[in-house]
Structure 1
Amino acid sequence: MSDPKPLVLDVDGTFLKTDLLFEAFWAGLGRDPLGTLRALRFVRDPARLKAELAGLVAMRLDLMPVNPAVVELALASAGEGREVILASASDRRQVQALAETYGLSARVFASDGVTNLKGARKAEALCEAFGVEGFDYAGNEATDMPVWEVAQNVLVVGEVPAARALPARGRSVQQLPGGWRPAALLKAMRPHQWVKNVLLLLPLIAAHRFDMATLVPILLGIVAFSAAASAIYIVNDLLDLEADRLHPTKNRRPFASGAVPIKVGMIACAGLMALALGLAGALNGGFLAIVALYMGLSLAYSLKLKRMRWVDIAMLATLYTIRVVAGAAAGQVDVSIYMLIFIFPVFIALGCVKRLTELTLATDDAPLPGRGYGRTDRGDLLNVAGIGVTGALVIFFLYSVSPQARALYPDTWLLWVAMVPMGWWLARMVALGWFGKQDYDPIVFALRDKFGLGIAMLTLSLMFWAAGLWAQWFGG
């Protein structure tokens, strides 16, 4: 015989491993940023804010991560004929749609644009409907305490220290798995992507400034850029929640999968931005301006530009190039205009490689989620990558005969020899992207590819030879 008392479930953090308010905010920011920012004028009126955000965009509730233990309990209880009700501080329209998606009771308790149904207000509404101890309730945070205190049986999702006092008050308490781990947040920061910031060392290498006074500020600059990049990765993931959930591998990312709460990600993002700007300001004003520019352009890329065909590749190349400029600013090294003109088409080619890899590994011909490319664009991407490779080699040759190059590299002919492995490395990267044989990020792949690193080291060795550095360091 089924339990006649209804089973009432909180939504945010309990039934779902995410929060509908923050889901709506980031979905709105990605699709209607101006409307979302206008909605924030109601930030002191939570019920109205939730209603405004819920009306901005339609979200795929069926894609949102759920707590398996809670959903299993809910479906089993419903299958036994027990009424399973969702009660949430989220907007009523979203909660009703979620209940319909999972076949739960059509009767829901939720915020309505006027009343924010949270804590004591939720407890009052449930007691009015079912009476004190006339229902069981599952929640996941301390704000659920007023409801637990009037429920007959308590289900606690994750660790809630405040709930430890409930058994002493005569409540039957059942623990269900939940919560998040710091390791998942670290994964969201993508520390493996920090290797891309070795690009800040290029001005030091190109100018042959191998001294601690130059190296230490650049290393601090790498830390600042790593913090800034991690903050932007979090923003990018929060803006791409739905697209990531539709992706065959990105659906396992911490925010898309619900392994880390969106609120935690927002707090971490703010902290990382403060660290990046604080450290940059401690180095020098020029570097601070470059870090701020990088973060601004990255935000623009995440919000809009990455969805624009070809513009996104130009922006990827720009963001890589900014790292080189940042290295020069951090170490107070003069950067050659030839270097900037050379590396930009290199990064254009690598940006095309990134999209080629994604298209090659795609499971169907539909456009990439959140991007403007489909498999029919592979030929055009290959052509643009070829133009980037050719342009980079031509610019490098022009640099080799410039007065600046002749001053730094007395044996100019060795620079021409270095163009052979350089061209080989670039062509190989394009080919690997075309055949889908590398990572989704070509820079990260390049720094882990042993064979490619060997080619790059050969190129660098020839350039050091042309500069006379081997003789200077080792004699002869």
Structure 2
Amino acid sequence: MGDELQKKPLVLDVDGTFLRTDILFECFWSALGKDPIRAIKASFLNLKKPARLKAELAQIATLRTDLLPVEPEVSELVAQAKADGREVILASASHQPLVEQLARDHDLSPRVFASDGQTNLKGERKASALVAAFGEQGFDYAGNAPVDRAIWSMADHAIVVGDDASARQIEGRGQVITRVEGGWQMADVMRSFRPHQWVKNVLLLLPMIAAHAFDVPTVLAAFLGIVAFSAAASSIYLVNDLLDLEADRLHATKKNRPFASGAVPIQIGMLCFVLLSIIALGVAAVLSWAFLGVVAFYMALSLAYSLKLKRMRWIDIAVLASLYTLRVVAGAAATGIYVSGYLLVFIFPVFLALGCVKRLTELTLATSDERLPGRGYGRPDRPDLLNVAALGVVAALVAFFLYSFTEQAIGLYKTRWLIWVAEIPLAWWLIRMVSLGWHGKQDYDPIVFAMKDKRGIGLILMTLSIMFYAAGLWQQWFGAIG
């Protein structure tokens, strides 16, 4: 009799139980990346028809079920059950063809229970289907949500993933139970915001620095602008990561990102996107309508980049440079400081060059000659990327030189020839960044790398120090003799 009980099938829910993700939301973001209009239309038309929604999104999406992250502890239970000769069956509310493919990917039973486009196999419906197939207490069941309580009550052994309230209820009625921790951590949610990227928003300080406006109201406005832009940027990073799930899972290091690895549920990412967007636009509206317009445009352009433009060769680099340049415009709008056209003409080619450096680094560190997933660049593009980066460096230095002849520069800098001297460490920094990217000796993000590169920081500080001296600021601040 005991041996017979051992042969009872192990039935697994899929979303949040066997997998550390949800197939419906995986399909939605895959479909959104492939055909945004069709995906959004299918979602709105079938909001109250979950089975139909899952079927339509599955038709649009190109989902690699073999890449979906598996819950490690549940995977161990599966391995043990298979070693004991037990049948391991997937029972899910997800679309049946995808569940069948997932079962094949992991060498599980070809017999699955799933939604078919008409019936959403969840809760009571799933419980009835399993009882009809195996009888009451004729199977063990692993699930992760209160909706699974109807199924656990019919199972012999309950395996509960992350749902403490349900686990306590099951234990209260004396049923055999196995707990699996599951769940997610706030630290991983914060990691998905990419707070290390917020350092890029110091570019909002550039108009203030260029104008030598260091009064308290200006500094405070610039600080609030950085807060708004950081929230806006993080909201877009969330969208970008959700659209890049497959590409990230194929990447050597990006596969460890919170959503790609399943450490944070996709639903949490979507909620955080909404909250961060509200914070960004709310703070921006407090500062000024002009700044609100810049933030809204930045978010719209970033979304377009995530959905489509980042997959278009060369256009993606131009858009990246534009997004960085918008930070300077945003700093001006937040503080009300006039920005010289020469400053923007200088900033754009700098970030055009750094955009090329980003792709050069990725290609140099790539493990094969195949095109980068979701990007369209391959190793043969390295010389062209180097040439465009070099053009960006030259254009930036020329714009910097021409700025020294403008009325604004003449008014701000007492010793104007020192501006030309400041070009030397600036040129050194730019050329060094391109060289490091070409040789694969920096991080995948050149801006983040630049903020940690001690030698590079030294060159930037040298440039600023020379310019501050040329403007007489050191003498003003510290009483030095000019």
Task: Give the alignment's TM-score, normalised by structure 1.
Answer: 0.98
Aligned to 1:253: 257
Match of 1:71 among 69, 75, 81: 75
2:114 counterpart of 1:110? yes
- Counterpart amino acid of 2:80? A
Separation of aligned partners in 1, 2:7 and 2:364: 55
Aligned to 2:176: 172
1:183 to partner: Cα distance: 0.6
Matches within 5 A, 1:3-402: 3-40=6-43, 41-402=45-406
Per-residue Cα deviation, 1:204-247 (whole angstroms, up to 9, x for no partner): 00001011110101101101111111111111000000000000
- Counterpart amino acid of 1:262? I
Runs (4+) of structure 1 exceeding 6 A deviation are none
Separation of aligned partners in 1, 2:473 and 2:76: 67
Separation of aligned partners in 1, 2:38 and 2:97: 19
Q: Per the alignment, in what secondary structure is the counterpart of residue 328 of structure 1? A: helix
1:84 to partner: Cα distance: 1.1
1:458 to partner: Cα distance: 0.7
Separation of aligned partners in 2, 1:203 and 1:36: 41
Q: Is the 2:12–2:88 Cα contact (8 Å) retained in structure 1?
A: yes
Q: Is the 2:28–2:61 Cα contact (8 Å) retained in structure 1?
A: no
Moved more, 78-87 or 269-278: 78-87
Per-residue Cα deviation, 1:164-204 (whole angstroms, up to 9, x for no partner): 11122231111123111111111111110000000000000
- Percent identity of equivalent pairs: 63
Separation of aligned partners in 2, 1:212 and 1:355: 39
Q: Is the 1:42–1:48 Cα contact (8 Å) retained in structure 2?
A: yes
1:369 to partner: Cα distance: 0.8
Q: Per the alignment, in what secondary structure is the counterpart of residue 390 of structure 2? A: helix
Per-residue Cα deviation, 1:396-428 (whole angstroms, up to 9, x for no partner): 111101122111112110001111111111001
Separation of aligned partners in 1, 2:154 and 2:378: 55
Separation of aligned partners in 2, 1:225 and 1:28: 28
Separation of aligned partners in 2, 1:297 and 1:77: 50
- Counterpart amino acid of 2:70? V
Separation of aligned partners in 1, 2:271 and 2:429: 40
Q: Is the 1:142–1:163 Cα contact (8 Å) retained in structure 2?
A: no
1:57 to partner: Cα distance: 2.3
1:160 to partner: Cα distance: 2.7
Q: Is the 2:20–2:69 Cα contact (8 Å) retained in structure 1?
A: yes
Separation of aligned partners in 2, 1:50 and 1:421: 57
Separation of aligned partners in 1, 2:399 and 2:106: 60
Q: Which runs of 5+ in 2 are unaligned?
A: none
Separation of aligned partners in 1, 2:62 and 2:233: 30
- Counterpart amino acid of 1:273? S
1:123 to partner: Cα distance: 1.0
Separation of aligned partners in 2, 1:321 and 1:113: 47
Per-residue Cα deviation, 1:362-399 (whole angstroms, up to 9, x for no partner): 11111111101111111111100000000011111111
Moved more, 463-472 or 255-264: 463-472
Q: Which runs of 5+ in 1 are unaligned?
A: none
1:38 to partner: Cα distance: 1.9
Moved more, 26-35 or 68-77: 68-77
Aligned to 1:415: 419
**Cα root mean square deviation, aligned:** 1.1
Moved more, 100-109 or 359-368: 100-109
Separation of aligned partners in 2, 1:162 and 1:105: 27
Separation of aligned partners in 2, 1:467 and 1:99: 69
2:455 counterpart of 1:443? no
Q: Per the alignment, in what secondary structure is the counterpart of residue 447 of structure 1? A: helix
Q: Is the 1:321–1:343 Cα contact (8 Å) retained in structure 2?
A: yes
Separation of aligned partners in 1, 2:42 and 2:76: 36
1:159 to partner: Cα distance: 3.7
Separation of aligned partners in 1, 2:72 and 2:131: 28
Per-residue Cα deviation, 1:18-70 (whole angstroms, up to 9, x for no partner): 10000000011111212211211101111100010111123111111001221
Task: Give the alignment's TM-score, normalised by structure 2.
Answer: 0.97
1:336 to partner: Cα distance: 0.8
Paired residues, number = 476
